[in-house]
Structure 1
Amino acid sequence: MSDTSGVGDEVVTDALWARLEPLIPLPQRRFRHPGRRRCSDRAALEGILFVARSGIGWNQLPTALFGASGATCWRRLADWQEAGVWQRLHQQVLTELRAAEKLELSIALVDGSHLRALKRGDHVGPSPVDRAKPGSKHHLITDATGTPLAVTLTGGNRHDVTQLIPLLDALPIIGGRRGRPWRRPRYLYADRGYDYDKYRRLLRERGIVPVIARRGTAHGSGLGTVRWPVERSFAWLHAFKRLRTRYERRADIHHALLTLACAVICLRKLILN
């Protein structure tokens, strides 16, 4: 892989594979009609990462370089998403980060980001910021430092606030330290798009203090000094070029790439910082 990635990416890929391999379900062995030899899961992972980082199409993946075709990498991505592998991988790295005291979980940050969808499919809708062209939205919740904790995908016409409770429900249970595992933040920071008293009440019912800017008030509330890491996290996510624009018709495939990107971002924080 030295021809396609930097030293940092090689280290992350090795560390990622060490954590991913035990989570991959064993394939069913075929005796009567075995067919051609199955390519390695490690080769498929490297192909998936290359597509995610470079943004090329699956059919453009150089099979001779990776030892796995784009179609094979796509199938493994889908199969592992269905088996919950990517979600468990992300949760495992978050647990390691908490054990290393590299998470600040008392505060959570939320925000949303639009992206254009080039194909119709699940969770696609007219984007209000792109002349009603088909689009989707990434909804992200992070810790106080911008480490991604959970992400959801909706149509481009869905309001950010509608995903506030689903994001909280998607938060993983994070262990890594003695005592009870972490389940929810103490404070939640959000911009004016989340300014609805109904959702403030729902947050308080969950034991979370909402810190949400009020609509119609002057700028300069000071919340931006706390909220900016979640915007930086979107820049980290969209550094994976396959996530800047939605190419996949199937929402589960795009969400698999999102979760993988979150795991890689967390892993970089764990081993490179």
Structure 2
Amino acid sequence: MVGRGELTDAVWERIATLLPGVDGRGRPWRDLPERYGSWQTVYERFARWEADGTWARLLEQVQVRDDSVGAVEWTVSVDSTINRAHQHAAGARKKGCPAGDELEDPACTTAGQALGRSRGGLTTKVHLACDGRGLPLAVVITPGNLNDSTVFGAVLDAVRVPRIGAGRPRRRPDAVLADKAYSSRAIRQMLRRRGIRAVIPERADQKANRVRRGQAGGRPPAFDRDLYKARNVVEHCFNRLKQFRAIATRFDKLAARYRAGLHLAALILWLREPRQDQLSDTA
């Protein structure tokens, strides 16, 4: 019997051929239910598949399959959320850093492991681009105290869905929806150069400055108010991702492990979405 949050046999069949071979090596990962076998082995497998890119490739492959049947909606919403880091997430040392309280040296640990000091303590910020259905297309993590707009280019660059057969991967959304935190001339110019429609409201201070300058301030940026209403899908996506306990609170010391967990959670969201070809078969 499948437990709450677990994948069905039908879903496992969809990804079975994409999974690499397994072996019996292992390390501690203590909270896994016993029915999954040795938690040492499961953790080691999780870590290996993070290191060799398996989790990222699995996510990419389900995106490819949906895009091949026209299911991906390329009106993309971008936003970020801050997740608290558990005290056990701190303390991973890089080579050459002294032992002890590494949090006193951000160059050694916190920033390097996507941990930042905010008013509420150590946090990690998850930057997300999702399609029009609210499914994750790209995930980038940074320290929690990093400004959203500085990471926008990295998030946009991470959107990449290969084609089945010949052709370049699709990297360009039809439109990008984002809130006022992303309202900057640099971001609007970036989207314009790439031929992507920007649906971003103008900040009040920017509008006041433009009006103050008169004709020199230029025209107000185009803004589709009706299309912007669809931006709430990214908030829904964050809510769904945070149903995974290890995403809502970061327990992993290593940024790479936490990112792999995000890829796995995003993969599960894609696998739970009804497939377009299946819907047409049952119609």
CA contact (8 A) 1:213 1:223 kept: no
The alignment-based identity, stated in percent, is 34
TM-score relative to the length of structure 1: 0.77
CA contact (8 A) 1:203 1:210 kept: yes
Which residue of structure 1 lines up, in the alignment, with residue 163 of structure 2?
175
Number of aligned positions between the proteins: 236
- Partners of 1:27 and 1:196 in 2: CA distance: 47
Q: Which amino acid aligns with 2:33?
A: P
Call closer, same or farther: CA 1:10–1:190 in 2, change over 3 Å.
Answer: closer
| 1:236 aligns to 2:240 (yes or no) | yes
Which residue of structure 2 lines up, in the alignment, with residue 144 of structure 1?
132
Q: Which amino acid aligns with 1:101?
A: G
- Partners of 1:88 and 1:182 in 2: CA distance: 16
Residue 144 of structure 1 deviates from its aligned partner by 1.6
CA contact (8 A) 1:16 1:264 kept: no
Residue 260 of structure 1 deviates from its aligned partner by 0.8
Q: Which runs of 5+ in 2 are unaligned?
A: 91-109, 209-223
Q: Secondary structure at the match of 1:58?
A: coil
Which residue of structure 2 lines up, in the alignment, with residue 184 of structure 1?
172
CA contact (8 A) 2:124 2:143 kept: yes
Which residue of structure 1 lines up, in the alignment, with residue 268 of structure 2?
264
Call closer, same or farther: CA 1:202–1:261 in 2, change over 3 Å.
Answer: same
- Partners of 2:7 and 2:18 in 1: CA distance: 20
Which residue of structure 2 lines up, in the alignment, with residue 125 of structure 1?
116
- Partners of 1:60 and 1:147 in 2: CA distance: 28
CA contact (8 A) 2:85 2:250 kept: yes
**Which residues in structure 2 correspond to 1:1-273 (within 5 Å)?**
2=1, 4-5=3-4, 9-11=6-8, 14-26=9-21, 38=24, 58-63=29-34, 65-69=35-39, 71-105=40-74, 107-118=75-86, 119-120=89-90, 121=110, 122-127=113-118, 131-176=119-164, 181-216=169-204, 221-222=225-226, 224-271=228-275
CA RMSD of aligned residues (A): 2.8
CA contact (8 A) 2:126 2:141 kept: yes
Residue 147 of structure 1 deviates from its aligned partner by 1.6
Deviations 1:10-54, CA, capped at 9 Å, x for gaps? 42xx344334443344468xxxxxxxxx28xxxx9xxxxxxxxxx
Deviations 1:119-163, CA, capped at 9 Å, x for gaps? 225100012xxx241101111001122121011111100111122
Residue 79 of structure 1 deviates from its aligned partner by 0.5
- Partners of 1:87 and 1:210 in 2: CA distance: 27
- Partners of 1:60 and 1:254 in 2: CA distance: 16
- Partners of 1:100 and 1:173 in 2: CA distance: 13
Q: Which amino acid aligns with 1:164?
A: F
Residue 187 of structure 1 deviates from its aligned partner by 1.2
Q: Which runs of 5+ in 1 are unaligned?
A: 29-37, 45-56
TM-score relative to the length of structure 2: 0.75
Which residue of structure 1 lines up, in the alignment, with residue 216 of structure 2?
none
CA contact (8 A) 2:160 2:169 kept: no
Which structure has the bigger radius of gyration?
2
Residue 76 of structure 1 deviates from its aligned partner by 1.1
- Partners of 2:17 and 2:63 in 1: CA distance: 17
Which moved further from structure 2: 133-142 or 94-103? 94-103
CA contact (8 A) 2:22 2:45 kept: no
- Partners of 1:194 and 1:177 in 2: CA distance: 35
Q: Secondary structure at the match of 1:184?
A: coil
- Partners of 1:164 and 1:94 in 2: CA distance: 21
